[in-house]
Structure 1
């Protein structure tokens, strides 16, 4: 492929609504070719920078960033699964280009690693973004990467541990997952050896490890500074807000209305105006669900949450409640919110019903995890693929109807597919030619 910044594949069949503009090349170079204020949102899963970067190296990079060298990164050294592309987080220069091409008030959703989100967030801040929130994508499929301290002590001393039994190696959702945490690796029968400490020092540190089971991936929600007020910005540029109703938490139960008459809400903080009790019946029912939260779950995390929380009941406000609120002027106060019909639900269930829940699989279905087999029999695949439903939710949250979202780290094109499925346009940038082919495979494109 000679020209690394041109569209590589045409669509085999026209998409029903949105379109994809795929660029092959270094994201910083490609971003610099895009027009100012030309996209409505940025939705991306960039490198997390999971290499063992030393504190002194981090300090050197931060010093470079704040003194103007916004492209500075440490020397490339393997990150996730030893990949050099994951050696460090994208520097401020990348996010500054995202800021430039975003319309004023446009939002950006950026996945980050739990132990490097501070660097990702700082790079985004230094580029000029406002950090609006951090969402938590909680999932139960991560394997603990923890060293057994007791075993390490015996190994260092050359002491041989006695095998006292075996057990089945559990999957990533089991409490005993991870070879390093619970003893020796699996034997030839697929079982795990159970050993006991061989030295006094190892016995003292039995049960100690070095890491927790990973279960959360932060998603940094940032916004380009507004052009005036929110109201003025959305009218002038078509962005600046979040699509709350489009991302509500679905429920089978009947919910009270989510929209309340302006004269009864009294604006942002409430005017104290007394409602007419007869108007309560005029509230529209909102079948879309609950107000979205900044915690997102997979079904395994949701199940665990429900088991711990048990069943609870959310009762709708009664007319007597509303009349009592009328007398105290509480009903009109949005700052308290408890009497507001938008926060009043008549349902029951576990605590997970308050949060968006997305299906997660340790191995995504074939249609969500494209694979290409080379002529020599080897395969092209990507090691980290986010659930399509999760990316669809994020794109919907920050992209206006008919808008364009940008993904400067397209990977296998999950964001691009999510945008197409939701009727948005998308611009994707990917440096790896193998992944360009995976995107074509995912979207059903054929080589030009």
Structure 2
């Protein structure tokens, strides 16, 4: 077996392709899989979100992420604009391959919890099920701070007055890009300043904006005499500016991608005026989480006793506190029996966890809409009285003792709530040597998930470690973790997360931006010596 990149008594970190590393891990060696895999949408042009070619074509053409005539295989575009059925099929095949390995590595009854993208998670769920897992549930992580990545149809119409010639332009661009040996993401980065889908758009359905044309022309030595006037023909009139927050920053408008002024433009053609206000995408507001379970060995009780897996840790993931406990009539039966005032059920830790998870901003908005609500208004018992009606002295059940322990608050109190930021702050987004991961899940959310499916002292498998959020969550919850990461540049980020929980001095060394703290610690150590 290949030596791990990092190992200690709690964490083993492997560097390599997920399928190759998983194949080397022993059977039934993990209690749970909690992971945030690539969504197959080519996020910001990153190769790690493009699983690439898969199956026979990979062997026939020399491996993954193969270029065909300068253009990537459709599998690299899986989910992007939902254009390619073949790409999505290959993404599903890839998901099936790693899920099948996870099934082997998990103990009987072990759970797999995996995030998915809203456009491709149906392929992920089908792949997990086809691999042999029982789909137990899906968790919806809802948030209110997403930003719509939508094409402005009116603006697109204005930018393609020579629409009948666009196919010719796209072919010329693709030919020049291939000659330069550049990917679409490379071109986008050099022209607009970020690895976005800009070049993909130019090759598929619109001309570039006039402000990008000089850089694009010079980079690829394109024909300015033929295309310069076409691109400049419908430049839109600027009518104002607006200040954009950190989510709404256009590529190339500041490295920190926050608080910049964006142009407000007006349609310049009659056709564009007709389609003003039309777009191509909704504002993202949720991410699905697939919950699967490896088949049990016998009953749940027998499996739990034998392997320690097969059940969810409900009490460790409850919502709220002891104030949510309620009186219970179910165990006494519906036809008799008196209920004492101190007969209650539920947990001191709060309500039963739900399959809907909220972020703080959305929870606040929900509470603002619902106002303060009171629950537990059912009476202890209601005697038969034919001479009362609901609009008389029984209205509002004012004389009744609540049977469930009345509680009050906003509607969000029924759901787990976690902090969400599309661009996590420094506390949850480690940076080493200027490198940070662009997609980071909230640490508290990952702690909740690993706690839900992992037995005490158990081992969590994370096949797609990224910046190491799952690894850090497992450490904080007292679990062991086996992690895999393909991208070399993210390995120090995972080390930094491990170090800040196990060796703060090493964490400061890795960060390289300790603001003098490391020297202070060293001085104190010297004085103590």
Residue pair 1:109, 1:220 contacting (<8 A) in 2 also: yes
Give the distance between the partners of 1:62 and 1:312, measured in 2 at CA. Answer: 52
Deviation at 1:349, TM superposition (A): 2.0
Cross-structure match for 1:20: 11
Aligned to 1:220: 290
- Mapped partners of 2:144, 2:361: distance in 1: 6
CA contact (8 A) 1:296 1:357 kept: yes
Q: Report how many aligned residue pairs link the two structures.
A: 380
SS in 2 for 1:405: strand
Residue deviations 1:322-371 (CA, integer Å, cap 9, x gap): x88xxxxxxxxxxxxxxxxxx94522222211111001223323232111
More helix by share: 2
1:168 to 234, 240, 243: 243
Aligned to 1:159: 234
Instruction: Give me the whole-angstrom Cα distance separating, in 1, the residues matched to 2:122 and 2:280.
Output: 21
Residue 276 (str. 1) matches residue 373 (str. 2): no
Give the Cα–Cα distance (whole angstroms) in 2 for the partners of residues 421 and 124 of structure 1. 28
Distance of 1:228 and 1:72 partners within structure 2: 40
Counterparts in 2 of 1:234-383, with a 5 A limit?
Answer: 234-251=304-321, 254-257=323-326, 264-265=330-331, 272=333, 274=335, 276-279=337-340, 281-283=342-344, 286-315=347-376, 317-320=378-381, 344=404, 346-373=406-433, 379-383=434-438
Distance 2:278 2:113 in 1: 36
TM-score by length of 1: 0.75
Residue 77 of structure 1 corresponds to 76
Q: Is the 2:4–2:13 Cα contact (8 Å) retained in structure 1? A: yes
Matched, 1:117 2:113: no
Partners of 1:314 and 1:226 lie apart in 2 by 38
- Report the alpha carbon displacement of residue 315 of structure 1 after superposing the two structures with TM: 2.3
Structure exhibiting the larger radius of gyration computed from Cα positions: 2
Q: Say which structure, 1 or 2, has more relative contact order (CA 8 Å, 6+ apart).
A: 1
SS of the aligned residue for 1:348 comes to: strand
Alpha-carbon displacement from aligned partner over 1:46-100 (angstroms, at most 9, x marks no partner): 1110049xxxxxxxx99989xxxxx99966636899xxxx994643121111001
Structure 1: gaps spanning 5 or more residues: 53-60, 66-70, 267-271, 325-342, 374-378
Instruction: Provide closer, same or farther for how the CA distance between residues 307 and 436 of structure 1 changes in structure 2, counting only shifts above 3 A.
Output: same
Aligned CA-pair RMSD? 3.5
Indicate yes or no: 2:466 matched with 1:385: no
Distance 1:297 1:364, change over 3 A: same
Contact 2:314 2:353 in 1 (8 A): yes
Runs of 4+ aligned structure 1 residues displaced above 6 Å come to 61-65, 78-81
State the distance in 2 between where 1:427 and 1:165 align: 53
Which of residues 275, 288, 291 is equivalent to 1:205?
275
| Residue number in structure 2 paired with 1:102 | 106
Contact 1:368 1:442 in 2 (8 A): no
